[in-house]
């Protein structure tokens, strides 16, 4: 009886809760293909920014750029399969109705985060040497609110 009680305490009272985090293994809400040449003309995508996962609770995400606060969904908002990226810079930015944040995972498994580099509390990330392959993009918010946003992707010569 004592063992049963201890087991109940371990699984119920003292067990750890699972922390959900952005996960590039989960299929994105929307998926697109584009070449670097096609992105010379900016492409804009509507999205609701926000999420339930607080980024500082996600030890598996170590951005190579800014590290800051933000709430993101588990599922990526977008997956882009990119080709023809040699010699280009990829600028991923957002315009939103709130304090939005941006999280990217590249095909080489690098994480990038930004909160305000696009001005007006909106994010902007510049990938200076993007490689062909898939990138996953999450549009979150700094404070956990949800709001309408637009994600913009555009390439420029290096």
In the chain, where the domains are located: 19-157
Which tens digits make up the pLDDT trace of 101-132?
999 999 988 999 999 999 999 999 999 999 99
The pLDDT of 26-32, averaged and rounded, is 97
Query: What is the band of 65 on the pLDDT scale with cuts at 50, 70, 90?
Result: low
Q: Which residue, among 38, 64, 70, 63, has the nearest Cα to 149 in the 3D structure?
A: 70
- Cβ burial of 3 (10 Å; 0-12, 13-18, 19+) is exposed
Taking the C-alpha atoms of residue 1 and residue 5, their distance in angstroms, rounded to an integer, is 6
19-157 CATH, one of 2.60.120.380, 3.40.50.1370, 3.20.20.70, 1.10.260.40 = 2.60.120.380
Angle (CA) 47 49 54, round 5°? 145
Instruction: Pick the closest to residue 148 from 95, 101, 105, 108 (CA basis).
Output: 95
The pLDDT of 37-47, averaged and rounded, is 98
**pLDDT higher than threshold 60 for residue 3:** no
Bridge partners of residue 81, in order along the sequence: 33, 134
pLDDT at 19: 66
């Amino acid at each position: 009886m004592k063992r049963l009680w201890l087991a109940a305490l371990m699984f119920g009272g003292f067990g750890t809760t699972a922390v959900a985090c952005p996960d590039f293994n989960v299929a994105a809400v929307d998926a697109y293909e584009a070449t670097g040449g096609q992105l010379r003309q900016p492409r804009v995508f509507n999205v609701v920014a926000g999420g339930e996962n607080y980024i500082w609770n996600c030890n598996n995400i170590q951005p190579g750029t800014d590290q800051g606060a933000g709430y993101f969904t588990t599922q990526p908002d977008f997956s882009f399969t990119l080709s023809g990226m040699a010699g280009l810079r990829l600028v991923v930015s957002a315009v939103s109705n709130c304090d939005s944040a941006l999280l990217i995972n590249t095909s080489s498994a690098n994480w990038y985060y930004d909160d305000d580099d696009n001005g007006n509390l909106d994010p902007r990330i510049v990938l200076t040497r993007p490689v062909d392959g898939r990138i996953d993009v999450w549009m979150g918010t700094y404070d956990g609110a949800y709001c309408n946003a637009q994600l913009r992707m555009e390439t420029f010569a290096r």
